[in-house]
Amino acid sequence: MDEKGKMSARNREARAAAFQPDTQPLTEPGAGEGAPTDGDSHPTWLDRVREAAAPEPDEPRWTPEPVGSSDSLWDATDTVEPAPLPDLSVEVEPPDPTVPDPGALPETAEAALEETVGLSVRRLRKAAIEMANRDAEADLPEVQATGRAESEAELRDRAVSLFRNWQARERARLNSVVGELEGRITRTLGGISLDNDRFERVTSELFRLKRRWDMNRTVVENTLEEETSEEQDQPETRQFKTRWYALAIGFLGIVEFLANAPVFGALLPRDPLTEQQLRYVAETSEGWLAGGMRVASQFILRPDAALLAAGVVTFLCVLAHFFGHSLRSLMMHQSARRTGETLGKRSAGEFVVPMILSGIGLVLVIGVLFEARVTLGEVAVDRFVQDSAKIEELRRTASWLRVDGNLVAANEQANRADDLEALAKEQREYAASMSSLSFPILLLNTTLILVAISAAYFHMRDRRRDRFNDTPFERQRRELVDLGDATQQRVADAMGDAVRAIRDLASLLSEAPLREAPALASQLEATVVAYRAENGRLRSLDTREIKAFAEPVELHLAVEERDMRDLLMRDPEDYEAERRELQEGFEKTRVRFTEEATAW
């Protein structure tokens, strides 16, 4: 094996040794972790930028795994055999975060971003030391040999590759952060612009609404003023005049009385003399007044039934009157409450309570009448059976009297039997018809009561005066004001977000991109220097005596000009100018909005 071959073999060994996981690293193990483990560490400005830029979730995070095929950083430049797979059976002592790493890079603001790079540098240095050991054992490079040593050349290649890789990734990362920020700013400013337009529309609509309100109010108030001048003497009006109301209620009462009085007459006990007198009036009445006299005689000669029916009808009318008035009062109270007017100390309960009581009373009275009609059928059947027995007895007695020659008494008994039979049949037929007509009469009663309630409702004196109803306009105004306020709040929040995002972008770009490049280049050059120094030290030679080390250690890792150029599509000042323009438009609209909203 020649010298070149020996060096290659030693280099491979050195690389393998350098990549062993149990090998003591040159720097502090804890410093190689992907995230700072020190709980007391505070986020740097770059962390905030990262958060603001919302890093892509698929961006791989570095993990402290042994260098191998998964380490893309080294794989990208490694021209030798791939590193062996890590031995998972060997337990690795977790690094103690409390022990400072003397070889770690200083914890600067850039350190967080350079963690992966720092670890790679440390491992590169370790590999350089190992290479130096191997080469020293093999006494390479020869002192007099010129040209760059094979290990150093490989070390240089790796350093350059590492630098280029770092540069590319850093550039991509910065581009991503800036892109995210610009996108956010653009979205925020666009949203502000849209909200400004919406705010402008709301303000204009508010202005038009006020114009409509003014116009309608003027027209209505002029009309009302003309009507009011005609009704100066009658400030409180009734929709249903008292005389017509009394006439309607009286007529309804008569109808109700006629519909229900016969029921009570049939239910109450009958008096034979009364029946005789009724029959007399019925037979003697003639002419145009005959019908009226017959009907009147029914009520006059049966005062009990008439009074009972009149009482019920009175109850109905009074209850309907109070119900209608209470309902109207309640409606007026609710209307006044909706329009914001005050009614002193009155409450809705003052009208609800009598309305409920009168309503219950009406239901009870109607129920009593309905039940009376239904009961009338059963009562009539029972009475007819009893009357039939009486009729039979009377006729039997009449027969005996007739045989005895007492014809007058017999006649009287026969008359009574005939009267009773006629009355029983009449009552039975009336009861049957009434019983079958219970529901229709219930509907009739209900209708009459509803009519009475309606009459009372419209008879109620309305103390309110007609006026312009601005409630719909007020409601629309409130909706517009609420919408405008919400838009204002949204614009204000978006303005704050935009200011912060623009400031973040400006802060990010105020720092020179890739400004850590010289430091990284120095560290990489230091690995070559370390190789030379270690090699000389182990061979007890001055590195200056080795001609192969005479070449200056310069890796020429300067950042290219194109990479140093501005990353922005637009200048943050442009964003700020646009934001200010939106702010000014918003302020103008806001002033208009405030004027329109408070000018009612």
Partner 1 sequence: MVIRSTRTLAALFGALTLAGCGTQEGNAAGGEGEGGVIKRSTPQLVVFVYDRSTSISHHQLELARQLTNDRIRKLDHGDRIAAHQLLQLSLEEPPQRWSETVPQRQFTEQAMMRDSVTRARFLRDAQDYLVAFTDTTGRGNIDGTDILSTLHDVGADLRAAPGREVTLYIFSDMLQSNRTIDMEGLTRMPPPGWVERETVNRTLPDLSGLCVYVIGARVDTRQSQHVKDFWQEYFEATGAIFESGNYTLRPVELPEHPCT
State the residues that interact with partner 1 by CB under 8 A.
Answer: 276-277, 279-281, 283-284, 286, 293, 296-297, 300-301, 402, 405-408, 410-412, 414-415, 418
Q: Which tokens is 14 given? A: 């050195």
Neighbours of 477 (CB within 10 A): 19
Question: How far is 151 from 531, CA to CA, in rounded Å?
Answer: 9
Closest distance to partner 1 from the beta carbon of 245 (Å):
18
Which residue lies nearer to partner 1 by CB, 201 or 294? 294
CB of 406 to partner 1, least distance (A): 8
Which CB atom, from 414 or from 453, has the smaller least distance to partner 1? Answer: 414
Sequence-ordered list of residues with C-beta below 8 angstroms from that of 320, at least 6 positions apart, any chain: 358, 362, 449, 452, 453, 455, 456
The amino acid sitting at 114 is E
Q: How far is the CB of 394 from partner 1 (least distance, A)?
A: 13
| Smallest separation, CB 316 to partner 1 (Å) | 23
* DSSP conformation class of 95: P
**Closer to partner 1 by Cβ: residue 275 or 350:** 275
Q: Per the structure block, which two tokens stand in for 580?
A: 């200010």
- Cα separation of 217 and 220, whole Å? 5
Give the containing element (helix H, strand E) for 533.
helix 517-538
Nearest approach, Cβ of residue 287 and partner 1 (Å)? 12
Reduced to 3 states (helix: H, G, I; strand: E, B; else coil), residue 34 is coil
Phi and psi at 237, nearest 5°, equal -110, 155
User: Residue 76 has what DSSP assignment?
Assistant: T
CB closer to partner 1 out of 307 and 577 = 307
Which amino acid appears at position 327 of this protein?
L
Tokens of 413: 């008994």
How near is the Cβ of 247 to partner 1 at its closest, in Å? 12
Closer to partner 1 at the Cβ: 303 or 518?
Answer: 303
CA quadruple 128, 131, 136, 139: dihedral positive or negative?
negative
Which residue in the block uniquely carries the two structure tokens 């005789």? 276
Whichever of 295 and 374 has its CB closer to partner 1, that residue is: 295
Closer of 175 and 242 to partner 1 (Cβ): 242
Distance CA 127, CA 116 (A): 16
The count of C-alpha atoms lying within 13 angstroms of the C-alpha of 104, restricted to the half-sphere facing its C-beta, is: 19
- Closer to partner 1 at the Cβ: 398 or 452? 398
Least spacing, CB of residue 403 vs partner 1, in Å = 8
Q: 62 near 34, Cβ under 8 Å?
A: yes
Helices (H), 99-149: 115-137
**Distances from the Cα of 251 to the Cα of 317, 452, 569, angstroms:** 11, 10, 92
- Give the up-direction half-sphere exposure of residue 55: CA atoms within 13 A in the CB hemisphere: 14
Q: From the CB of 401, what's the least distance to partner 1, in Å?
A: 9
Nearest distance from C-beta of residue 243 to partner 1, angstroms: 12
Q: Measured from the CB atom, is 280 or 439 closer to partner 1?
A: 280
Minimum CB distance to partner 1, residue 421 (Å) = 13
Classify residue 408 by its DSSP letter.
H
- Between 116 and 298, name the residue whose CB sits nearer to partner 1: 298
CB of 467 to partner 1, least distance (A): 41
The residue among 286 and 566 lying less far from partner 1, judged by its C-beta, is 286
Cα–Cα distance, 214 to 468 (Å, whole number): 11
- Maximum C-alpha span of the chain: 184
